[in-house]
């Protein structure tokens, strides 16, 4: 397919070059500064979600590769954790600069591999660079903590120290943004890294490793092991030289990882699934609420952890508002992710498409009213054939909160609209879920907005807005959506140990035993 000579400013030659590179060069592990195949020589294919043809291959890592990477990270930790903060900052800023330099290649690669539309992916690549630039600043100041003078007799102080190698396990929906968001604070605070990206979108992680190499990061500070969750991921969670594990993924994976990590008493950060509600009250600016709720579920192909997949609307405006959502959903441009006009691209994998279609069937069986979509999309908005890819029509149901399609994370462009009577009813329905990642409230009544922000069981609440991430603020969920907060200084709590030091300013009385 050729949409234009330059796709959103990216020359066609770059796109062809990325395709060729993926075909010709498998994505390897990166251990102690070297790109390596698996000892077994085994690789696995990654599919182009737009065609389901093989895009390229990645090395299939397991216990051996994880062991080598963990040892390399452990060894490098001895030096990196003592490297001056100013110097770590310099490396991080260099990486940020190099991500910007390679932005087009990274964006095209992520777009082809994850099926995310180019306009979204470009913003994510910029965010990946920002993650490094942001934490570069922290590198110099983050280790400051409190002092506790006690009268004139004692001085206690608290110190932050790096912990060791961090195992970073990431999902397939936004590989580059989600991995850099963890790698950057880990490196800034003096830890070293072993990254295990998701098997359905492995490629940008290997490109990122090239960037670390170009930045001359000392060998072993950043390591990458490609492979499957049950093999490379599980080996990383079990490795005794990796004391910290951060996992972004499904809630069920979180449970398995928590059990496995418990055997080694590891510190865990879990960023898991969501079923976030958007509450729309009759007094809201309905045009803006419409923009936000449509964007929050259908952008990112619906594969967004903070998607507002439950739309709770006040009864008086329910039919009218939902009719407008339906009109928008029908008009969304489904197409190839490289097409600059595309709004929704293909789902990551045929298995995932089947899973999402399975939920459409469940919704119909449960008696939900299907207003829009629910089928594979076979023609793009330009009329091209999409039948070989994992495309789904943006889908809208009307139903009730007890239904499975309201309670389970679908992770696709499927929205369920549910009416509510008043604030209490809205709150009850919003909180009636095992998840608690984000919540969105649309109302002009500020008292109600703030009261709801307090009462909603969610790690993040957005008032009259879609999800706009501000890096210093805490990110994370409650209930089955996770247990930690990352972002800004909150990341410090995860990536460092807090140590208390006591110094008497005059000799304290010491009881004399055995005298
Ligand atoms: P997943 O849980 O299937 O996989 C996530 C990662 O875990 C992958 O790298 C996988 O290989 C690995 N893994 C699987 N089993 C493992 C095991 N036993 N031990 C160690 N690692 C293992 O998730 P996914 O399908 O890749 O991603 C979608 C999910 O991620 C959704 O539930 C979504 O909500 C969630 N997500 C959450 C956030 C957040 O910040 N809360 C952000 C993005 C995505």
| Residue ranges lining ligand 1, Cβ < 6 Å | 169-173, 178, 196, 198-199, 228-230, 233-234, 237, 247-250, 253, 256-257, 271-274, 305, 409, 411, 437, 477, 482
pLDDT tens digits, 154-183: 999 999 999 999 999 999 999 999 999 999
Most informative mutation of 60, 116, 171 for ligand 1 (most atoms within 8 A of CB): 171
Count CA atoms closer than 13 A to 168's CA, side-chain side: 29
Q: What is the pLDDT of residue 2?
A: 53
Written as six digits, the tokens of 203 are 């490629």
Query: Using CA positions, which residue lies closest to atom 16 of ligand 1?
Result: 229
Distances from the Cα of 423 to the Cαs of 221, 241, 279, 443, in angstroms?
51, 50, 9, 11
Q: How far is the CA of 245 from the centre of ligand 1 (A)?
A: 13
Residue 3 has pLDDT above 60, yes or no: no
Residue 336 has pLDDT above 70, yes or no: yes
Q: What is the pLDDT of residue 142?
A: 67
Task: Name the one residue in this structure whose structure tokens are 């709004």.
Answer: 343
**pLDDT-based confidence at 196, cuts 50/70/90?**
very high
Query: Using CA positions, which residue lies closest to atom 26 of ligand 1?
Result: 171
Q: How far is the CA of 152 from the centre of ligand 1 (A)?
A: 52
Segment 286-309 shows an average pLDDT of 98
Q: What is the DSSP string of 237-259?
A: HH-TT--EEEEES-HHHHHHHHH
First to last CA, the chain: 89
In contact, 304 and 410? CB cutoff 8 Å: no
H/E stretch holding 459 reads none
Most informative mutation of 46, 231, 250 for ligand 1 (most atoms within 8 A of CB): 250
Work out the mean pLDDT of the chain and round it to a whole number: 96
Residue 12 has pLDDT above 70, yes or no: yes
Rounded CA gap, 357 and 354, in Å?
5
pLDDT tens digits, 388-442: 999 999 999 999 999 999 999 999 999 999 999 999 999 999 999 999 999 999 9
In contact, 198 and 175? CB cutoff 8 Å: yes
Q: How far is the CA of 248 from the centre of ligand 1 (A)?
A: 5
In contact, 143 and 85? CB cutoff 8 Å: yes
Task: Name the one residue in this structure whose structure tokens are 């912990």.
Answer: 163
Q: How far is the CA of 172 from the centre of ligand 1 (A)?
A: 7
Looking at 310-403, list the stretches that DSSP marks H as alpha helix, in order from N- to C-terminal side: 315-331, 350-365
Residue 5 has pLDDT above 60, yes or no: no
Say which range, 201-205, 408-412, 469-473, has the weakest mean pLDDT. Answer: 469-473
Rounded CA gap, 303 and 295, in Å?
12
Residue 208 has pLDDT above 80, yes or no: yes
Task: Provide the annotated active-site residues.
Answer: 271, 305
pLDDT tens digits, 356-386: 999 999 999 999 999 999 999 999 999 999 9
Q: What is the DSSP string of 156-211?
A: EEEEEEE-SEEEEE--SSSHHHHHHHHHHHHHHTT-EEEEE--TTS-HHHHHHHHH
Ligand 1: which atom is nearest the Cα of residue 249?
30
Segment 22-40 shows an average pLDDT of 97
Distances from the Cα of 454 to the Cαs of 440, 441, 448, 496, in angstroms?
12, 12, 10, 30
pLDDT tens digits, 67-91: 999 999 999 999 999 999 999 999 9
Length of the chain: 515
Q: What is the pLDDT of residue 138?
A: 84
Segment 495-499 shows an average pLDDT of 95
Query: Using CA positions, which residue lies closest to atom 9 of ligand 1?
Result: 198
| Domains defined along the chain, listed by start | 7-272+482-499 (3.40.605.10), 277-463 (3.40.309.10)
Which DSSP symbol is given to 411? Answer: -
> Which pTM was predicted?
0.97
Q: What is the pLDDT of residue 227?
A: 98
């Amino acid at each position: 397919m050729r949409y234009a000579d330059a796709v959103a400013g990216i020359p066609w030659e770059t796109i062809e070059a990325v395709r060729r590179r993926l075909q010709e060069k498998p994505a390897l592990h990166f251990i102690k500064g070297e790109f390596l195949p698996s000892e077994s020589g085994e690789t696995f294919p990654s599919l182009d979600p737009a065609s389901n043809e093989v895009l390229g291959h990645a090395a299939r890592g397991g216990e051996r590769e994880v062991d080598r990477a963990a040892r390399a990270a452990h060894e490098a930790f001895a030096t990196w954790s003592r490297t001056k903060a100013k110097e770590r900052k310099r490396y991080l800023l260099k990486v940020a600069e190099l991500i910007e330099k390679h932005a087009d290649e990274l964006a095209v690669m992520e777009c082809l591999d994850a099926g995310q539309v180019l306009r979204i992916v470009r913003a994510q690549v910029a965010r990946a660079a920002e993650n490094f630039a942001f934490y570069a600043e922290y590198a110099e100041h983050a280790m400051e903590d409190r002092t506790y003078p006690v009268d004139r007799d004692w001085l206690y102080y608290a110190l932050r120290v790096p912990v060791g190698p961090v195992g970073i396990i990431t999902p397939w929906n936004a590989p580059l943004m989600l991995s850099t968001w963890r790698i950057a604070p880990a490196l800034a605070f003096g830890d070293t890294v072993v990254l295990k990206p998701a098997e359905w979108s492995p490629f940008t992680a290997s490109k990122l490793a090239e960037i670390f190499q170009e930045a001359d990061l000392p060998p072993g500070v950043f390591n990458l092991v490609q492979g499957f969750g049950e093999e490379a991921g599980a080996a990383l969670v079990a490795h005794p030289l990796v004391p910290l594990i951060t996992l972004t993924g499904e809630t069920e994976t979180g449970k398995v990882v928590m059990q496995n990590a418990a055997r080694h008493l590891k510190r865990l950060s879990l960023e898991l699934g969501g079923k976030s509600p958007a509450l729309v009250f009759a007094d809201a600016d309905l045009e803006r609420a419409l923009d936000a709720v449509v964007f929050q579920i259908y952008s990112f192909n619906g594969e967004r952890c903070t998607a507002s997949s439950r739309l709770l609307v006040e009864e008086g405006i329910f039919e009218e508002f939902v009719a407008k959502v339906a009109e928008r959903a029908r008009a969304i441009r489904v197409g190839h992710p490289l097409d600059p006009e595309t709004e929704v691209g293909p789902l990551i994998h045929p298995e995932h498409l089947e899973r999402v279609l399975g939920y459409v069937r469940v919704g119909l069986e449960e008696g939900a009213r299907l207003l829009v979509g629910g089928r594979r999309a076979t023609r793009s908005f330009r009329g091209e054939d999409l039948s070989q890819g994992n495309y789904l029509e943006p889908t809208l149901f009307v139903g009730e909160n007890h239904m499975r399609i309201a309670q389970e994370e679908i992770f696709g462009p499927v929205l369920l609209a549910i009416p509510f009577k008043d604030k209490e009813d809205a709150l009850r329905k919003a909180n009636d879920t095992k998840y608690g990642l984000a919540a969105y409230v649309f109302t002009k009544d500020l008292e109600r907005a703030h009261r709801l922000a307090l009462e909603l069981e969610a790690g993040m609440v957005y008032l009259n807005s879609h999800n706009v991430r501000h890096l210093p603020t805490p990110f994370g969920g409650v209930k089955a959506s996770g247990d930690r907060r990352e972002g800004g200084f909150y990341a410090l709590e995860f990536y460092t140990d807090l140590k208390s030091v006591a110094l008497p300013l005059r000799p304290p009385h010491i009881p004399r035993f055995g005298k």
